[in-house]
Chains A and B, each alone.
Chain A
Amino acid sequence: MSATTDRTWIDDFVVELRLRGASGRAIGDAVASVREFLRGSGQSATEAFGSPREYAASLDLTSSAKPKQQFPTVARSLAGLIAFIGFSMATTSWLRGDEKFRISAGQLLVFAVLLVLVLLLPLYLNVLLRYRWLLVAVVIAGAGMGAFLTLAEPRGPANTTHAVFAVPPVLAVIVTAAVLVALSIEQSIAALSGAGVDPVREPLTTAGSVRGRRGAVGIALGLAWMYPAAARFYLGAVLLLAH
């Protein structure tokens, strides 16, 4: 069995342990034990330990401390996505010189579907993380919904009657931008205080663990400001095209 297959097995094993609420230290210990055993026996990970899911379950490493809450993190990301979609729509409407930024019934329905998907996330989050093709499918569906939101935007006086919600475009831009920045500030504070950051720490690697923690905080900060950065890029691109 190839080293690549074993690496994939270990990646899946880490995901399974995370889903079971194991601490970063416990995961690091379990992964190092697997590596040590494979080196000694020359067996493949599947041969020696079976499926990552079953082996993770058999170790029973669920933390006695409060398990890491993944729902708020993902919910914040999706709230950021919704605010970003709203921002891009409001910006387009503002630069087009619309008198009002309007939301149609169809768009409101898609927003409602997105909201329900977010609220029901705890029911299917584990399945999404386990089967990555499904995660890709959900992202593609989300992008499709975003495209629909833009295409279904009511335009011109003829469609005014279909709008169920209308505000000045500048107000919509300011509100959605404020939501994006507020979410990012909140996520940054959480990342810098170390809340929710529990990197995998393998034994006998003190220096590595410090690097791992810094790296994890850096990634969390980058993700926290992903939507405002994308919004700024979008605004710049639209202004460039307009001129």
Chain B
Amino acid sequence: MNAAEQWPSDWLRATLGLCVLRALQPGPSYGYAIITELARRGFGEIKGGTLYPLLARYEAAGLVETQWRPGAAGPGRKYFALTDQGRSELTRLRAEWARFGTVLDDFLTTTKE
């Protein structure tokens, strides 16, 4: 199975925002590096046309801030970094998702009717 087709697109759409915030937790990163990291973690290939609009919405909402940094030998890169508000949102969503995951697991694996 192709990595890009590994998961139903609905699942990825629902969780991509949380995953992008998580990918930025270690420090600032740029578009292609975020996509590479998510692919390495088994999420499949996310398109640039999906990632950048999401990041633009997060920037407008104050969850991330951006900075253009000059490249070593060529044009620069746009780095995205979590703001304090973005870090709080990641903490909140992670806790919510853990609760949701438990509810879902319980329901899917329970043998009781």
Contact = CB atoms under 8 A, between A and B. Distances in A.
Interface residues of A, number: 23
Interface stretch (B7-15, B18-26, B69-77): B69-77
Interface of chain A: mostly helix, strand, loop or mixed: helix
B12 to A, nearest CB: 16
Contacts of A33: 31, 52, 78
A36 B31 contact: yes
A50 B50 CA distance: 10
Nearest to B78: A33
Contact of B49 (A29, A50, A203): A50
Interface residues of B, number: 20
A39 B73 CA distance: 13
Given A36-B30, A37-B32, A49 B78 contact: no
B48 interface: yes
27 contacts: A29-B78, A32-B68, A32-B75, A33-B78, A34-B48, A35-B75, A36-B76, A36-B78, A37-B31, A37-B52, A39-B74, A40-B31, A40-B33, A41-B32, A48-B49, A49-B47, A49-B48, A49-B49, A55-B49, A58-B49, A59-B56, A60-B53, A60-B56, A61-B56, A203-B68, A203-B76, A204-B68
